[in-house]
Structure 1
Amino acid sequence: MATILLAFLFLFIIIYFLIQIHRKKQATANNLPPGSFGWPVLGETLDFLRSQRDGAADKFVRERIERYGSPLVFKTSLRGEHMAVFCGPEGNKFLFGNENKLVASWWPKTVRSLFGKCLNTCRGDEAKWLRKMMLPYVGPDALSNRYAIVMDLVTRVHVQNQWEELGSLFNTFLKGIGSLPIDIPGTRFYRGKRAAFAIKKQLIMLINQRKLEIKQQNASSFEDLLSHLLRSSDENGRFLSEMEIANNILLLLFAGHDTSAVSITLLMKILGEHHDVYKNVLKEQMGILEGKAPGEALKWEDIQKMRYSWNVVCEVLRYNPPVIGAFREALVDFEYAGYTIPKGWKIMWSAAMTHKEEDNFPNATKFDPSRFEGTGPTPFAYVPFGGGPRMCLGKELARVQILVFLHNIVTKFSWDLLIPDEKIEYDPLATPVKGLPIRLHPHKV
């Protein structure tokens, strides 16, 4: 038995080195970017995940830029895929400007499996159709006084009663997104798939209930996104299936809740660390509060007055972007920075890395909201919401959510951080490892 195992090990080593020799020859022949594919199958995935867990999401990219002397692009292998990592504003501009031409949106197997067919995982005309259907309900035109008032009232009730954490199903689902795609009992991915199935099962129950209400013509009061998705078809008359609607609702729940919740958590941490910034935010928010009648809800015009507060939020998202970046797939062979990117290769761009480049943000490790005064950062250097045709659909919705929450917290409380300098890890979103425990101090009336 031992002899057989040694023979297999020896064969594996030979195959591994033959693969490496072939890859080096291929890289030379095809003029691929500099870099390493790492170990068979795993590639450099473990190093990539380790940098996220260490709270240094830009470390993986920065180390390889320095190692290979290639500031614009390098090659690697992540999650079993040959991948080119595009760096800096130049890389972001190239990818965002060539969407559906040279590249198209792509996500790892964990994301595609857990979300299913939805806006995030679709491409081309289908993605355009879905985006067009959803935009009226989450885009700038939807954020009227009615939306701002509803958000404000919900936030007030939430603050008055209790601060609740995410439900256990969503926590499990979230952990599965950033895991390795190992689908066996006990793994994060396996538990994430079960959680996604349970969530979608509940959503489908709500979808069927709404379908029945529409059929009975009792849904005239439901002029919301769910009814819109049920009633709308594409130019060929195709309607979304119940599962496709559930997939897209799950995506919106994730994008509209989890990323905003993470952003608010990071904002609370920064304000707890920078008392001068907190005082300036408080001054602006109290000025807005003083101009309103007691108990009057925030309006759209009030949100527009929160200029300094939004600069603070933008700097928070630069300092620790909630999502490290995103992926694309090469639709054809193309040239970039003097190198060939083969068709089928995956491409990653990193917000975490771009946001820490000294050329774009001098003293990048310093928290400075003034960076966003005037014209703000260099184009394509600040990309927490992505860019181009795939820019985050709910960017404006997130802005209102965060500012409404900020207004209600800052005008009622100051706080101390119970764990100074608490570490941030990406798992998969930027999160304080201990959950950011704080001590609240209500303002004296």
Structure 2
Amino acid sequence: MDVILFLLVSILLISLLPFYLILVTSHRGQPLPPGRMGWPVVGESLEFVSAGRRGVPEQFFKERMKMFSTQVFKTSLLRVSTAVFCGPSGNKFLFSNENKLVSLWWPRSVDKVFPSASTSNTSIEEAKRVRKLAVAFLKPEALQRYIGTMDAMAKMHLQTKWATAATSTVHVNTLVKTYTFALACKLFMSVEDTGVVAKLEKRMTDLAGGILSIPLDLPGSSFRRGIEGSRWMRRELMGIVKKRKSDLLLGSTCGGDHHHHQNRDMLSHMLENGGDHETSTLSEEDVVNKIMGLLIGGHDTASCVITCFIKYMAELPHIYDLVLKEQREIAKSKRPGELLNWDDIQKMRHTWNVACEVMRLWAPVQGGFKEALTDFTYAGFFIPKGFKLYWSANTTHKNPDYFEEPEKFDPWRFDGMGPAPYTYVPFGGGARTCPGKEYARLEILAFMHNLVNKYRWEKVIADEKIIVDPMPEPAKGLPIRLYPH
């Protein structure tokens, strides 16, 4: 039996070899970008993932840029042939040619873990619709009214989850994810029940882990857990959507406010459509899909930045002292019980520079896929229609050509004009810049304002490293000891 299986596999590999050789050499006599495709089926996915899990995601790109090209090289990631565009010129090209030469593309694992509710829409089309709905809700002028809620929830979270652990050990990564996810549930859906939020967060962790995993549907795999988590989330969110739809039909509004549309959350915004003709026929399944997309962003993006922020503040007391000084001045300007407002956030310039430096070293969005809409040439190499493309923050963020002493933590890099265009891309760029960028900024600053005014801390594991899997996070969850002021 083993011999027969071996022969069948051998025949399959031999039959695929000609196509494989054509792919890795040239196309129509024009050279494809230089590079290597790795092993059949898995390509170089294992090397890509391994570099992140070792805490050196930039190494995968540095090695290939040195070996093949500093502008573009080919590889195979997540079972697809991919051209990696490097440096600020590569970022600029992909970001500025959205819907012209390139378009958004996601790996097969995304469609499996995060399937479209509509048989006519792919997850990519759904993402575009989510983005359009989210932009109006997440623009700065709309978010200003939620700063007080962010501040109040940060205070409550520190009081209920951190205060009891003062002078003992807390695991930052877990607690911060709990906070950011609870805030997303509150602002997007007005869900505040801690039991419901905890169950949703557990399944969201499984779902998020499966989205960019290697798409092998095996028992116990991240991909399988992601699919199962997605199914569970859909069932739970459908119940919430149906209840809200019923409430709206009865004339009720979120938060008990029956008169002011601006106090409604994202869920009500989606169900009522705001007069947008393109979204006026959203089904309950469509709404569930879009809320899931927003919750994924609310689960990991800000939490990884806050966690890494806390790590560096423990390691760099002089940075902590500067942030504390800035935040204490803001706290002293407030009346007892008065919450943060937009003007307060604008005063947190140095704190935000520190956050920007954290994101330079550990970008919350490590990179993204696109697809060639047509044949084109880039840097003298042929890119065929349908070829998958990838940009990565790791080709610039830790590159000494763009950031002097890139391993040094230096928030003053962001004073004045800041980094050169297209070198600093923690939220992507162009038409596909993350619409939650400003939401994340407010969330990060509100939380750090409360944390530094309440505590100083130290790391339990002095040499704990950050890994990327698929988001940056401390390998051991960042246990720290808290010391109240």
Distance 2:315 2:453 in 1: 18
Cα contact 1:116–1:244 (8 A) shared by 2:
no
Distance 1:4 1:237, change over 3 A: closer
Match of 2:31 in 1: 31
Distance 2:463 2:28 in 1: 46
Please state how far the C-alpha of 1:63 moved relative to its aligned partner. 0.8
Match of 1:122 in 2: 124
Cα contact 1:178–1:427 (8 A) shared by 2:
no
Please state how far the C-alpha of 1:358 moved relative to its aligned partner. 0.8
Q: Letter of the 1:56 partner, please give it.
A: V
Distance 1:24 1:350 in 2: 22
Match of 2:376 in 1: 334
Distance 1:372 1:107 in 2: 32
Distance 1:402 1:442 in 2: 20
The aligned length equals: 439
Distance 1:436 1:127, change over 3 A: closer
Match of 1:204 among 238, 246, 249: 238
Range moving further from structure 2, 328-337 or 165-174: 165-174
1:225 and 2:271 are equivalent in the alignment:
no
Please state how far the C-alpha of 1:404 moved relative to its aligned partner. 0.4
Structure 2 residues not aligned, in runs of 5+: 163-174, 179-200
Distance 1:381 1:135, change over 3 A: same
Match of 1:172 among 202, 206, 216: 206
Cα contact 2:115–2:123 (8 A) shared by 1:
yes
Distance 2:278 2:90 in 1: 36
Distance 1:29 1:266, change over 3 A: same
Give the match's secondary structure for 1:298: coil
Distance 1:201 1:368, change over 3 A: same
- Aligned CA RMSD, in angstroms, stands at 2.1
Matches within 5 A, 1:133-282: 133-144=133-144, 146-163=145-162, 164=175, 166=178, 167-219=201-253, 220=258, 223-232=264-273, 234-235=276-277, 238-282=280-324
Matches within 5 A, 1:5-24: 5=5, 7-8=7-8, 10-12=10-12, 14-15=14-15, 17-24=17-24
Please state how far the C-alpha of 1:257 moved relative to its aligned partner. 3.0
Please state how far the C-alpha of 1:22 moved relative to its aligned partner. 2.8
Please state how far the C-alpha of 1:57 moved relative to its aligned partner. 1.1
Match of 1:43 in 2: 43
Deviations 1:211-251 (A, max 9, x none): 11111122336622111111226536751221221121111
Distance 1:257 1:4 in 2: 48
Matches within 5 A, 1:95-110: 95-110=94-109
Q: Letter of the 1:7 partner, please give it.
A: L
Distance 1:120 1:311, change over 3 A: farther
Cα contact 1:175–1:428 (8 A) shared by 2:
yes
Structure 1 residues not aligned, in runs of 5+: none
Match of 1:112 in 2: 111
Distance 1:338 1:385, change over 3 A: same
Please state how far the C-alpha of 1:12 moved relative to its aligned partner. 4.9
Identity, in percent, stands at: 46
Distance 1:120 1:269 in 2: 39
Normalised to the residue count of structure 2, the TM-score between the two structures is 0.86
Distance 1:79 1:328 in 2: 13
Deviations 1:262-284 (A, max 9, x none): 11001000111111100110111
Distance 2:3 2:138 in 1: 63
Distance 1:32 1:79 in 2: 19
Cα contact 1:129–1:234 (8 A) shared by 2:
no
Match of 1:436 in 2: 478
Please state how far the C-alpha of 1:28 moved relative to its aligned partner. 7.5
Normalised to the residue count of structure 1, the TM-score between the two structures is 0.93
Please state how far the C-alpha of 1:9 moved relative to its aligned partner. 5.4
Please state how far the C-alpha of 1:286 moved relative to its aligned partner. 0.7
Matches within 5 A, 1:312-323: 312-323=354-365
Distance 1:178 1:2, change over 3 A: closer
Match of 1:415 among 448, 452, 457: 457
Q: Letter of the 2:427 partner, please give it.
A: F
Distance 2:6 2:240 in 1: 57
Q: Letter of the 2:305 partner, please give it.
A: S
Distance 2:481 2:278 in 1: 56
Q: Letter of the 1:380 partner, please give it.
A: Y
Distance 1:442 1:236, change over 3 A: closer
Q: Letter of the 1:270 partner, please give it.
A: Y
Cα contact 2:115–2:122 (8 A) shared by 1:
no
Distance 1:409 1:217, change over 3 A: same
